[in-house]
Amino acid sequence: MLRAHAIFSLMRSRISVRFSGLAKHFDMRLVFRDVSGEARPGEVLLITGPNGSGKSTLLALLAGLSRPSRGTVLHLASSRPDGSEIPRSDWRNHIGVVSPAMAVYDELSGLENLRFFARVRGLPDIETRCRAALEQVGLDPTRGTLVRGFSTGMTQRLKIAQAMLHEPPLMLLDEPGSNLDPEGRQWLERWVQDLLATGRTLILATNDPREMEWGSCRVALPG
């Protein structure tokens, strides 16, 4: 595990993600092949394609949660000499992921969930950090409602708060607006623009026409 000062150095860095010749198969089934692209600070890289084309699988490869069958993924940090590559073992410290597969604990409140994940990451100022994260996504940190009583939109906001706890410079979002009402979608768009204004790098898997308008470049996966 990285020492605390090294983790926060990565948080302050700007991250680029370069990938080339990616292919992924499960047993004998090919999901996609020869996929290349780059995500840069202050921009949104879109990943689009029909259901089953491998959007979530590609996000997992770029996050280091899965390994490609072929090809390479590089994370490059501006804080390193010549923007050099970050070791794969350190990727989790600068990445925030929001996906349907993210786990939250139904038997805990929103604040208790964030406290748990902050402790797992060894983050400082846990109470202040967790309350600020809930307020940022529009959830009341003083409410003791258990997550099992949350709406799907509230749960989605909690997942976003969890992903932002360590202030990552790289965000990977898998259909982030899928469970949000119109007010929540408006908030999501403002949040994305705020992230871009701070120089963060965003990779967004979506087929939502409104979310696709945020993109600076695109990787389109075939069906």
Q: For helices 110-121 and 152-164, what crossing angle results, to 10°?
A: 20
Which pTM was predicted?
0.91
Closest-CA residue to 161 (of 180, 143, 140, 136): 136
149-164: pLDDT as tens digits = 999 999 999 999 999 9
Mean pLDDT of 77-92: 81
Beta-bridged to residue 26, according to DSSP, are 29
Closest-CA residue to 56 (of 17, 103, 97): 97
Model confidence at 84, in pLDDT bands (50, 70, 90)? confident
200 class by beta-carbon count within 10 Å (0-12 exposed, 13-18 middle, 19+ buried): buried
- For residue 89, give the DSSP letter: G
Q: How far apart are CA 54 and CA 204, in angstroms?
A: 13
Model confidence at 3, in pLDDT bands (50, 70, 90)? very low
Q: How far apart are CA 197 and CA 215, in angstroms?
A: 14
